[in-house]
């Protein structure tokens, strides 16, 4: 009996190790000011009660990747996923400190912000190559989805064979056109939300459970 008990315990341990997946690390990517941190804060608040980082209207508010571990998201059918959320700096190919001066910043502060932003973009690219298992790609649905950085980033994510959900954000704004995003990226699921107002985020959570689970 003792032998049988030990054997069963061993088998169950083996099966557990075999079937339980490593916790997925989901990166929220997108151009500056798409609403990445607003969404990250909402996800973290909805499922853990905390917050992740500050938001602002000035681009490049997030200049370091921020991670929140062990978030459990449960879908309507009872299925759930455990993920780490990584909020990343907005990706761009150009940064000019003068842009920040237009928002009323002093030159020294603007130059510092620009330098930190360049480091942040490089860091975000590095995370994507090394440490991310799935991507939420955020787009501002009032803007042109064919912006070069989007085409490049979606291509890079596809080449790494990472699952990606495209989020058409800011649908609460009058000139939002999420349909343009759907037609620009027909190969991926597109969910329209307002991260700020919380509109339709449940659909995003459902999709995350289905897609990243």
Partner 1 sequence: MSAMIQGVQIDLISADRLDSMTMMEKIRLILDDVMEGNIVVLEKGLAPEEQSKLIEITMREITPDGFAGIEMETYPAKEKPGFLDRLLGKSSPTRLTVIGPADQLKTIKKEKDFITAWVSSR
b/e per residue 149-165 (b: at least 16 CB within 10 A) = bbeebbebbeeeebbbb
The answer to whether residue 156 forms part of the interface with partner 1 (CB under 8 A) is yes
**Per-residue three-class SS string for 160-185:** CCCCEEEEEECCCCCCCCHHHHHHHC
The answer to whether residue 152 forms part of the interface with partner 1 (CB under 8 A) is yes
The only residue of 34, 105, 121, 190 in contact with partner 1, by rule CB under 8 A: 121
Q: Which stretch binds partner 1 (CB under 8 A): 27-35, 78-86, 156-164, 196-204?
A: 156-164
Residue 197 and residue 189 in contact, taking contact as beta carbons nearer than 8 Å: no
The answer to whether residue 161 forms part of the interface with partner 1 (CB under 8 A) is no
The answer to whether residue 129 forms part of the interface with partner 1 (CB under 8 A) is yes
d(CA 133, CA 26): 6
Query: Min. distance of Cβ 113 from partner 1 in angstroms?
Result: 11
- Which positions from 132 through 151 interact with partner 1, judged by CB under 8 A? 144, 146-148, 151
The answer to whether residue 56 forms part of the interface with partner 1 (CB under 8 A) is no
106: CB partners within 8 A, 6+ apart: none
The only residue of 106, 131, 158, 203 in contact with partner 1, by rule CB under 8 A: 158
């Amino acid at each position: 009996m003792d032998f049988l008990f030990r054997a069963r315990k061993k088998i169950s341990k083996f099966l557990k190790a075999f079937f339980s997946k490593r916790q997925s690390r989901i990166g929220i990517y997108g151009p500056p000011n798409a609403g990445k941190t607003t969404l990250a804060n909402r996800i973290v608040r909805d499922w853990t009660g905390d917050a992740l980082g500050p938001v602002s209207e000035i681009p490049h508010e997030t200049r370091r990747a921020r991670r929140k571990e062990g978030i459990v998201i449960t879908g309507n059918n009872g299925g759930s996923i455990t993920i780490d959320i990584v909020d990343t700096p907005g990706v761009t190919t150009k940064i000019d400190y003068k842009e920040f001066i237009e928002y009323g910043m002093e030159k020294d502060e603007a130059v510092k912000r620009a330098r930190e932003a360049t480091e942040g973009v490089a860091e975000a690219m590095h995370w994507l190559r090394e440490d991310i298992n799935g991507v939420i790609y955020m787009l501002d649905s009032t803007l042109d989805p064919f912006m070069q950085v989007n085409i490049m980033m979606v291509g890079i994510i596809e080449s790494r064979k990472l699952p990606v959900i495209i989020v058409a954000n800011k649908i609460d704004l009058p000139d939002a056109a999420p349909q343009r995003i759907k037609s620009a990226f027909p190969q991926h699921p597109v969910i329209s939300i307002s991260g700020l107002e919380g509109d339709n985020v449940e659909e995003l959570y459902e999709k995350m459970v289905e897609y990243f689970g």
